[in-house]
Amino acid sequence: MRFHSLFETSSMDQLIILQSNHHQQQQPPIKVILSNLLLLTDRICHTAVDESKFYKLECAYVGKQVHRLTRMLRFFSHFVDSTSLYERPVRGIFTNVGINLNHALTLVHKCRHRGIILRLISIAGVLDFRKVFNLLDVSMDNMKWLLSVYASANQGIILTLPPIASNDTSLALVWSCIASLHTHSLNLKIEAALELSTLARDSDRNKDMIVIEGGVAPLLKLLKHELSPETQIAGAMALFNLANDRNRVRSIFNEHGVPVLAQALRNSYILVQIEVAKLIARMAEHNGVCQEAFARKNVIETLVRLLSTEGKINKLLRSNSANKIALSSSIWPRHKKEGKLLEVSRLIVEFNTNCCRALWMLARDNVANCRKITETTKGLLCFAKLIENEKGELRINCLMTVMEITSAAENNPDIRKSAFKNNSPAAKAITDQLLRLIDESDNAVIKIVAIRAIGHLARTFPARQTRVISPLAKQLCDMDPDVATESVIALGKFTCPENYLRAEHAKSIVEFEGVQRALNMLRRGNDEKTQYHALVLLCYLAMHAVNNEQLQQARILTALRGAGKTIAHKCSELRDLVAQAVHHLKLSGY
């Protein structure tokens, strides 16, 4: 009778057990685990050699295997006291070794019994010994791999595969790379970080594995090497590739990543700042908690300062020598063969683009952060200059940031009054650039963002500023239906009941031929959204621009009655608005 249940635990089951053990709240120190394993090996050797009564040759061979394993464990004890010991693979392999040693101990114990009854019940078979031999061989191979990782820690990343990770080749590489991050060699740390960055790009599963296996903390530590820009860049790039998910971003946050990034952004060289700004933007994009945390660490003020001309020039002068180092690195091959002026020019654009994107993500749907941007000395003026002078992604990032700020101002009277006062040079500069883009840009995306931002500010413009109404009314005829729809939405905000100057703005819209254009959108529009907002604008114009000949000439009353039956029948609020507009027109004698 043989007890095969002793050996039913497969390598995959062991890995599952191992991973579940990793998530326990309290884990014993590595020293304690190693001490227990050595005690277990001593028991096996004593039982196998001195007390076995049956299968003595097999028990002796078990003793030899365990003796070899003991030597490996004792040799590994030299690394246990290291403050930089990476524990994840150690705990995993020690757990596996412990399971296999217990199998061996159980088997050799069966060979001690003298009584015939006990022998019949508990006798072990040759197949049982073969299985134990195999398990101990696996444990030795795992320990060989573990020793190779730690014994040659400063020589390179170990690419061999331990049996414990035979079903998951990525796990061994992740372990080896993270172990290399704990070494003293900067070159090896850079190599390991770049390898983790590549693994993270390959799949979300690899990203989760790197986080679970403890890769975040050592990668963040790389950002503290201010005298080695390449090391900082490699760490930031790897973290950037991890940070595309709310939970993984939270892991970076939990490892105190926010203060580390804030420090790196303030004190590092420009090439490092580019990668750090990318990472800040991505973390803020995927986790709102990080938006608040970065604001508390004054990251917003730092980004605005870096975007300003003075800050940028100082930073370039300060980082001149580091640029040469980083530009010659394999991390930045695209800069190698280009002239110095072109290098610096592109570098500044890339730098500004990523700083602006970081501010956009920090401001997105966050009123407090929008207020912080407006309270900085040069925030809005800086955006106005960049919108005026730059193109492409940099301009769009600036516009998106401005749109977030204006959106916050639309619903927050304090921001409207402080940042967008009529006599504010910054507010005027922003408005001028938005209106210029609405008039001159051929890019529909840029037009839409600029129009939306002007619409958000509808309650800040005085009645005499008809220059704001004219370009919006003109865009009602734009060939791009999205641009026209955005324009009619913006004009609706100028004439809605919440706008104190709605009557004056309504008259201006009528004067700039807004009625006929809105009617054309209502009649010819194929999109329900366009027709809805065109009808809303016409209702507001009918209610607030009464006694106007153009309304009568456009036969707006007839149009509203028809639209009330076709377009407004699905929405009770819109039906009520149409009814009010018709009532106003009738009272006015239309």
pLDDT tens-digit readout, 432-450: 999 999 999 999 999 999 9
Q: How remote is the C-alpha of 79 from its chain's centroid?
A: 35
Measured CA to CA, the distance from residue 443 to residue 437 in angstroms comes to: 9
The verdict on residue 433 lying in a domain is: no
| 358: pLDDT strictly greater than 50 | yes
245: CB partners within 8 A, 6+ apart: 204, 207, 286
Instruction: Give, in order, the Cα–Cα distances in Å from 268 to each of 187, 188, 231, 303, 543.
Output: 19, 21, 11, 13, 59
CB atoms within 10 A of CB 272: 26
541 and 510 in contact (C-beta within 8 Å)?
A: yes
Which range of residues forms the domain containing residue 140?
4-151
- In the block, residue with structure tokens 């930073």: 315
The verdict on residue 81 lying in a domain is: yes
pLDDT at 451: 97
At 5, the pLDDT band (50, 70, 90 cuts) reads: very low
The verdict on residue 586 lying in a domain is: no
The verdict on residue 53 lying in a domain is: yes
The dihedral formed by the CA atoms of 279, 282, 284 and 285, expressed in degrees to the nearest 10:
170
Q: Which amino acid appears at position 93 of this protein? A: I
575 and 536 in contact (C-beta within 8 Å)?
A: no
The verdict on residue 299 lying in a domain is: no
pLDDT at 323: 52
Measured CA to CA, the distance from residue 521 to residue 165 in angstroms comes to: 64
pTM over 0.75: yes
CB atoms within 10 A of CB 156: 14
Length of the chain: 590
Measured CA to CA, the distance from residue 176 to residue 210 in angstroms comes to: 11
pLDDT single digits (tens) 488-546: 999 999 999 999 999 999 999 999 989 899 999 988 767 889 999 999 999 999 888 76
179 and 188 in contact (C-beta within 8 Å)?
A: no
Measured CA to CA, the distance from residue 513 to residue 425 in angstroms comes to: 31
HSE value, Cβ hemisphere, 13 Å, CA-based, for 266: 14
Report the b/e string of 56-82 with b at 16+ CB within 10 A: eebbebbbebbebbbebbeebeebbee
Instruction: Give, in order, the Cα–Cα distances in Å from 318 to each of 133, 235, 353.
Output: 63, 22, 20
pLDDT single digits (tens) 307-317: 986 555 555 54
- In the block, residue with structure tokens 């324009």: 487
- In the block, residue with structure tokens 């001490």: 35
Gyration radius of the chain over CA positions: 35
HSE value, Cβ hemisphere, 13 Å, CA-based, for 171: 17
pLDDT at 114: 57
Q: Which of 140-144, 183-187, 249-253, 509-513 has the lowest mean pLDDT?
A: 183-187
Supply the angle between the helices 229-242 and 186-202 in degrees, to the nearest 10: 20
Instruction: Give, in order, the Cα–Cα distances in Å from 109 to each of 45, 140, 524, 587.
Output: 11, 22, 91, 105
Q: What is the mean pLDDT of residues 394-408?
A: 97
Give the whole-number percent of the chain exceeding pLDDT 70: 86
The verdict on residue 52 lying in a domain is: yes
Q: What is the mean pLDDT of the chain?
A: 86
Work out how many domains the chain is built from and give that number: 1
232: CB partners within 8 A, 6+ apart: 222, 223, 225, 226, 264, 268, 272, 275, 276
Measured CA to CA, the distance from residue 369 to residue 237 in angstroms comes to: 26
Measured CA to CA, the distance from residue 86 to residue 89 in angstroms comes to: 7
The verdict on residue 455 lying in a domain is: no
The verdict on residue 498 lying in a domain is: no
435 and 454 in contact (C-beta within 8 Å)?
A: yes
Instruction: Give, in order, the Cα–Cα distances in Å from 26 to each of 20, 21, 22, 29.
Output: 12, 10, 9, 9
| Higher per-residue pLDDT: 275 or 13 | 275
| Higher per-residue pLDDT: 366 or 528 | 366
Measured CA to CA, the distance from residue 159 to residue 212 in angstroms comes to: 20
